[in-house]
A = this chain, B = another copy of it.
Amino acid sequence: MFQLGVSTRDRILDTAERLFAEQGFHVATLRQITQEAGVNLAAVNYHFGSKQALMRAIFKRRLDALNAARMKQLDIALQTDPPELEEVLDAFVQPALAFTRGGDAEGQRFMQLLLRAFADRDTDLHQAMRQEYAHVMRRFADAISHALPDADPERLRQQLDFIVGALTLTMAESALKDTRIIAGELVRFAAAGLRAPVTEETARAVRFPLEARS
């Protein structure tokens, strides 16, 4: 029950990740974390320095893994030139689910954590996440531009944020068993959105967004 054989440091990491995702950073207390992990209260400050530093360690561990998995799958997609749009999007979406393959809810837990980080603007965690993300996002934006050479790269980059929002919120929200199907749907949905040209109607909507058109 107390994950015998695993180091104190890892027990804290796993338990804190779960409780931070479930309850949020400021609601989950060190006493609750250490008690459920079966370690002493002071162990957190000994191994990590502070509660904040613990959070950063948790975040870095998963985000590095997620980004590496995305990069790796993107490289495969980029072996064809120009790359297939769906394969590029797959490389972005699917690794977010890869963690769930083990059977437990780790992947979804991290998406919940990611969603909290997005919500926490003006925190160093938010800044750190955006910076960690910047690399990957730029590479994916470039790949999408190559797949859709006729589209404006700046607009494509903007629309990548739509995909991030849709992915993060639905993955954090949905039941575990549905995530795989939803990911496939999202790729199809996003690919069509990215391919859609700017029509006269939608251009007018951009210019006069609040006009009631009866």
Contacts and interface: CB of A to CB of B under 8 A. Distances in A.
Interface string A102-133: 00000000001001101111100000000000
A27 B158 CA distance: 31
A84 to B, nearest CB: 8
A171 B166 CA distance: 13
Nearest to A73: B212
B118 A86 contact: no
Contacts of A73: 212
Query: Which residue among A116, A170, A205 has the maximum number of chain B CB atoms within 10 Å of its CB?
Result: A205
Contact of A188 (B26, B180, B186, B198): B198
A183 B205 CA distance: 9
Given A162-B166, A166-B165, A214-B79, A206 B193 contact: no
Given A112-B119, A192-B193, A213-B87, A170 B165 contact: yes
Interface of A: 22-24, 26-27, 73, 76, 79, 86-87, 90, 94, 97-98, 101, 112, 115-116, 118-122, 155, 158-159, 161-170, 172-174, 180-196, 198-199, 201-203, 205-207, 209-210, 212-214
Contact of A172 (B119, B186, B210): B119
Contact of A210 (B94, B162, B195, B212): B94
Contact of A201 (B23, B86, B195, B202): B86
A161 B155 contact: no
Given A162-B170, A170-B161, A186-B162, A23 B122 contact: yes
